[in-house]
Amino acid sequence: MRVYTVDAFTDGPNSGNPAAVCILEKEVPDRTKQEIASRVNLSETAFLLKRKGVFLTSADFQSKRDKL
């Protein structure tokens, strides 16, 4: 799994709202996503599923404590 930190709501680096984006190769349970979001320790973490080089159209979002 690859994890990226992106700066949302800004047009410059190191400003705005930092959020994590995790690229998954296979589906994982919500509990696992919650554990990952807690370890990443940013206010929001997005999970994108990529299969055979194609991203699915939906994403899951987690805070450090709850699914959004």
Q: Which among 25, 27, 35, 44 is annotated as catalytic?
A: 44
Alpha carbons within 13 angstroms on the beta-carbon side of residue 35 total: 5
Contact assessment for residue 59 and residue 46, using Cβ atoms and an 8 Å cutoff? yes
44 is catalytic: yes
Task: Specify the DSSP class assigned to residue 58.
Answer: E
| Residues taking part in catalysis | 44
